[in-house]
Amino acid sequence: MITVHHLNNSRSQRILWLLEELDLDYEIKFYHRNEETNLAPPELEAIHPLGKSPVVTDGENTVIESGAIIDYVLRRYGNGRLMPTPNTPAHEQYLQWLHYGEGSAMLPLMLRMYTGRLPDGGEALQPRINDELDRHLGYVNAALEGVDWLVENVLSGADIQLSFVAEIAPLLHPAGDFINLDGFRIRLQERPAYQRALEKGGVYAFGPAGD
């Protein structure tokens, strides 16, 4: 059985959502951030040397990185659900979005978060960060024009991967105006499987209305 090593207020929440969408049996082992540093506890290092979340264990397998976890779960347990047929154009598009969600899309968001902790707020870097946020969030926003989901307008693991970007974007770039991305966030948060994941995962600051 899959065990999700789940850190509060982290990207592991979307792994719980994935498993709920697939209606799989799984276990949650809870970890809590240090209240002063907001860092993950050292106990996570016993699961993987990086001590980061998400990480899942499944028998002898330990898998880190959200994209790799989503890929692993869907290949092993998905039975064709939440991903297009391999070796099709749609599958290639799916793979690009899956990796984009933790690659290019997250970099300017992380830069905004970390520079915001500097004494001057990273003032010199903010114009460039704003440009990158507008570029990347605008790219996702444009891809969602006239559709509910990113690949063939069908919910997939790529949407689950991009969910965290959609949830933290308005917090880190409130000046942005991305109506399609806002609608995407509302749709995913209204899904019953997402709601079940929230109930099981505990407090999640980036959920609807700060749930």
> Concatenated DSSP letters for the chain?
-EEEEEETTSTTHHHHHHHHHTT--EEEEEE---TTT-PPPGGGGGTSTT--S-EEEETTEEEESHHHHHHHHHHHH-TTTTSPPTTSHHHHHHHHHHHHTTTTTHHHHHHHHHHTTSTTTTGGGHHHHHHHHHHHHHHHHHHTTT-SSTBTTB--HHHHHHHHHHHHHHHH-TT---HHHHHHHHHHHHSHHHHHHHHHH---TTSGGG-
Evaluate if pTM is beyond 0.85: yes
Q: Please tell me the predicted confidence (pLDDT) of residue 159.
A: 98
For the chain, give the percent of residues with pLDDT over 70. 99
Per-residue pLDDT, averaged over 55-79, amounts to 97
Q: Is the pLDDT assigned to residue 121 strictly greater than 70?
A: yes
Whether the pLDDT of residue 210 is over 80: the answer is no
Residue 196: its pLDDT value, please? 98
Reported confidence tier of residue 173, pLDDT bands at 50, 70, 90: very high
Identify the band that residue 79 occupies on the pLDDT scale cut at 50, 70 and 90: very high
Domains by residue range for the chain, with CATH: 2-82+193-210 (3.40.30.10), 89-191 (1.20.1050.10)
Q: Would the pLDDT of 68 be above 60?
A: yes
Give mean pLDDT, residues 107-135: 96
